Amino acid sequence: MPKIDNMLAILWMLRSGKKITAKQISEKLEMNIRTVYRYIDTISTSGVPIISEPGHNGGYTLLNNFIEAPLFFDFEEQTSLFHAAVFAEEAGYYGGEALNRAISKLSKYSNQEQEAKINQHLTSLEVISRFSSLSMEHFLKELEQAVTDGYSVKILYYKSSEKQLNYRLVDPYRIIYWNNKWYVIGFC
């Protein structure tokens, strides 16, 4: 088997949740035990949290809370994520920075050809929004937290029929972005 296949096989064996020894891995995959040690070091170096327990009852396991990300995104999935980041940023969505960090992590695993194609698609799409001096990030974050945690927020409300501003206590249920504007669905 090629090296990558062996390393993936080791990763799948570790995913079982049971402690497994290098000897068991070498017997199951029919390879030298030193090769198993090298592959485990390589997997661990790549960021997979492998726990090594020495001794008679020792072995290898994965960290309990380790959740592996999808190993591969195809071209269409990667391009869609990049476009989503552009839309999020232009809409004033507060999670745009986190989305961009996630995308930069994905970029590290793209080959040069994929990266060039994605960059071509990114330069072919531009979202132009109306200029707004008011940043919505803080408000969106606060409103989303209120929806998630179920608490009320106090807002300044403009009632067009009376041409005046009033404070309202609102129980927000959902936040909607429609027609280049953010809306709050709730009860007041």
pLDDT digits (tens, 9 = 90+) for 22-54: 999 999 999 999 999 999 999 988 888 899 998
Report the C-alpha gap between 99 and 179 in whole angstroms: 22
Q: Are residues 183 and 145 in the same domain?
A: yes
- Please identify, among 62, 87, 113, the residue that sits at the C-terminal boundary of a domain: 62
Residue 159 located in a structural domain: yes
Are 56 and 83 found together in one domain?
no
Domain membership of residue 49 (yes or no) is yes
Predicted confidence band of residue 178 (pLDDT cuts 50, 70, 90): confident
Give domain status of residue 131, yes or no: no
**Domain boundary at 62, 84, 106, which?**
62
Of 161, 136, 137, 141, nearest to 153 by C-alpha is 141
Element (DSSP H or E) covering residue 60: strand 59-62
Q: What angle do CA 40, 46, 52 make, to 5 degrees?
A: 35
Give the global pTM: 0.48
Domain enclosing residue 99, as ranges: 75-123
Residues 119, 162: one domain? no
Structural domain includes residue 45: yes
Task: Give the chain's domain count.
Answer: 3
Pair of tokens at residue 148: 């998630």
Domain boundary among 83, 100, 123: 123
Residue 70, domain member (yes or no): no
What tens digit of pLDDT does each residue of 77-91 get? 877 888 788 788 777
Residue in 86, 79, 85, 81 with CA at minimum distance from that of residue 120: 79
Cβ neighbours for 29, distance < 8 A, ≥ 6 positions apart: 1, 6, 9, 10, 36
CA distance 109 to 127: 26
How sure is the predictor about 127, in pLDDT bands with cuts at 50, 70 and 90? low
